[in-house]
Structure 1
């Protein structure tokens, strides 16, 4: 079984390649599609690290010369992802997360919210949610944000009330667990830089359609749209999956004691807060003041190192950041190859036959609905983005007016965070919160379906209003 899993991407690729080349598709495009599908399978089952899956796929395509006629052109295509500004923005933002962790600012923010909001269980839920929202614009890894920063703090609270996975989990532990994962899914759609696949999606959209989605353009639509859903989420969890413990006087006391252990806010924490705000201002107003968002992120990263918020050693040894850089850079190249090889046009022409004649708004709604629901088959938002977003854009392009395409692209990309709620494996932090043991697998799937319907409905309503 393990051997089958390890070689499954290769097996799938070879089996597809042995099939007759479909009519209307050049042989090189068909073989590229075979390798692309193999890469997606590899991202789902992960027989080797995901970054190695992407690097292998790009290398094989370049060696076989499937994208361009010359060796130099294939090399340029294979390395194009590493010169991509969005990829370096993701890398720099990972360092922001490290700054929050090293200075203790992220922990202090969470403890302060628990101290002032945590007198009752719903208040604790809002403290967990607001902790995520405050960190979200600066931490594109929702795993680092939710599972790495917030979960370790929240995990200390249920034992105070003797709420354990095997003893009264519904008392308070299950509620806080669900609020933790549900709120991070909403914030992941609220901000462009709150989820790394958001940035990947924006780059795929730019390469496939020429449409540029800035931080400000995303926030202008998604922040006001997601804010009501975000504010409702802890309350919805309280109503749909209520805790039996309604008050929590011990939690503020514990948070106060933890803050006393931390001592007064340090100069480095204040500096980190200042750097975060400076980055946010440049991301929001970058277009007006002539500063590219990636340049702003790298500039702030340089200041963080120069002022010893983090060290250069931290930068070069941050395996997670470098791993994501290689992973996403290769996936960007693979996604762009779909267009270069002619695969997207072929799929778009083929599928559009079945959707022709429908009103454009109906086509958009159907695409977003299908894009969301298909996430049940993916254990990675990144794999979902890489595999489906280029195809959905290719389908949409000939069927809707050009003026609607930018809005449609934004809606597809913005749904990536919300869809993380549906399964115990749908987004990075899910296995961590699920692994706490407070919510059974059957219950998680049930709650995921309920909240998934609510979140999808919110996305569809937004789409209808926005279009």
Structure 2
């Protein structure tokens, strides 16, 4: 599909929906706003232009033509509302933490140390790759930067030592390492609030739409019940379901030891990065008790990273990825808030709720969670999934469930965001990187994705019965 066609499709979708008769009970401006919103979502899926620009175009169009708010001032305030969202700035700061791990070399050193200690067997290598991801996950909100940017360059060298290449004995060890890496990062992305950028976007939408506040500690204490067992089981499950042909790997620890020798002794910046990372984690976990907001903590630690020269101010202002996400997520928060502001969510959730009336509340929660998970087969972006569906599913829950069940519903929905990345070769950021490595065919990925997706979804259902 050419880029011009990709660019035309979102516009045509928006125009087509706008030209449809306005449904009964829905305001005309809400109907038009939804048309633009749908065009934005299709644009995010096809990506004919950068995602941040897609969001910016959508917000500016709606504000310019007065689709949100009764005055130009109200429209302006709505358009800029996402940029004042604390969670967005937490994401921005966390991207700088990821840069600190990369620039200091601490992330690479952690991964190599784990390979050196655990890499004598193929199963041990699987655990080394998984644990390296788990150690970095709380501090790196981009699972693409974590898995594809930090773990991939190290892990992909391992099968090559055994002449396991995409076109030569991929099942020897390369396929196993690749699958463990993507499966582990999907679990860690759901284990920690700060391990996946859409997690932070999601908790902001939950607070805005349902009035439920989910902080770092609440997230981890609730989801750890299933995420820790899943995390520990993933390398072994992959070993059973998709076993490597080579069971032992004595060369891997030697290679890791040589790479560590080349790196030399641990540096001052690595020690500073480790200390400041732990400081941020402590403030995120105990922020409520010590009276420090998580965003404030992240920005404070960012300042310390710059002042201690772990990263430079030039690094901050030239970090295109961080600023891209800042603009992208700020505009998407505004667009999602706009659905509620114009009354579309109230109308749509009321319509869908009528189909579920009469079901047991626990069953409603489980049905909503399962549908939310399975709908990801239609998306190539977790962010697009969150913006398109989370407010709607929360609205349905608010219509049908008692108030005390909204927190469990919200936790199950947001807790699924990392896990759903396992189902297809394009379901989450690092998936195309590991798929593109060539060790796992598309047919095999879909099969393994269905197996592990079913397992992950089953774990979420089990958690649902525990917390409801």
Q: Give the TM-score taking structure 2 as reference length.
A: 0.99
Q: CA deviation at 1:285?
A: 0.4
The 1-side partners of 2:255 and 2:284 are apart by: 36
Structure 1 match to 2:143 = 142
1:208 and 2:214 are equivalent in the alignment: no
The 2-side partners of 1:410 and 1:65 are apart by: 34
1:250 and 2:251 are equivalent in the alignment: yes
Aligned pairs, number = 467
Structure 2 match to 1:312 = 313
1:104 and 2:88 are equivalent in the alignment: no
The 1-side partners of 2:22 and 2:157 are apart by: 57
SS of residue paired to 2:157: coil
Structure 2 match to 1:427 = 428
1:290 and 2:294 are equivalent in the alignment: no
SS of residue paired to 2:214: coil
Q: CA deviation at 1:422?
A: 0.1
> Which is worse superposed, 2-11 or 236-245?
2-11
The 1-side partners of 2:224 and 2:152 are apart by: 24
Structure 2 match to 1:45 = 46
The 2-side partners of 1:146 and 1:187 are apart by: 10
Q: CA deviation at 1:223?
A: 1.9
SS of residue paired to 2:400: coil
Structure 2 match to 1:87 = 88
SS of residue paired to 2:164: coil
Structure 1 match to 2:78 = 77
1:229-378, aligned counterparts within 5 Å? 229-378=230-379
Superposed CA deviations along residues 400-454 of structure 1, whole A, max 9, x for unmatched, are 1100001101110110000000000000000000000000010011000000000
1:4-15, aligned counterparts within 5 Å? 4-15=5-16
Q: CA deviation at 1:7?
A: 1.3
Q: CA deviation at 1:125?
A: 0.1
The 1-side partners of 2:317 and 2:63 are apart by: 28
Structure 1 match to 2:199 = 198
The 2-side partners of 1:331 and 1:297 are apart by: 22
> Which is worse superposed, 217-226 or 194-203?
217-226
Q: CA deviation at 1:222?
A: 1.2
Superposed CA deviations along residues 89-134 of structure 1, whole A, max 9, x for unmatched, are 0000000000000000000000000000000000000000000000
Superposed CA deviations along residues 115-173 of structure 1, whole A, max 9, x for unmatched, are 00000000000000000000000000000000000000001111110100000000000
1:411 and 2:377 are equivalent in the alignment: no
The 1-side partners of 2:360 and 2:374 are apart by: 21
The 1-side partners of 2:223 and 2:358 are apart by: 30
Structure 2 match to 1:62 = 63
Structure 1 match to 2:389 = 388
SS of residue paired to 1:69: coil
SS of residue paired to 1:38: helix
Superposed CA deviations along residues 379-403 of structure 1, whole A, max 9, x for unmatched, are 0000000000011011111101100
Q: CA deviation at 1:458?
A: 0.5
SS of residue paired to 1:66: coil
Do the aligned residues in 1 keep the contact of 2:225 with 2:463 (CA within 8 Å)?
no
Q: CA deviation at 1:239?
A: 0.2
The 2-side partners of 1:464 and 1:64 are apart by: 46
The 2-side partners of 1:449 and 1:252 are apart by: 33
Q: Which runs of 5+ in 2 are unaligned?
A: none
Structure 2 match to 1:36 = 37
Q: CA deviation at 1:355?
A: 0.4
Q: CA deviation at 1:464?
A: 1.2
Q: CA deviation at 1:44?
A: 0.2
Do the aligned residues in 1 keep the contact of 2:122 with 2:246 (CA within 8 Å)?
yes
1:456 and 2:457 are equivalent in the alignment: yes
Q: Which runs of 5+ in 1 are unaligned?
A: none
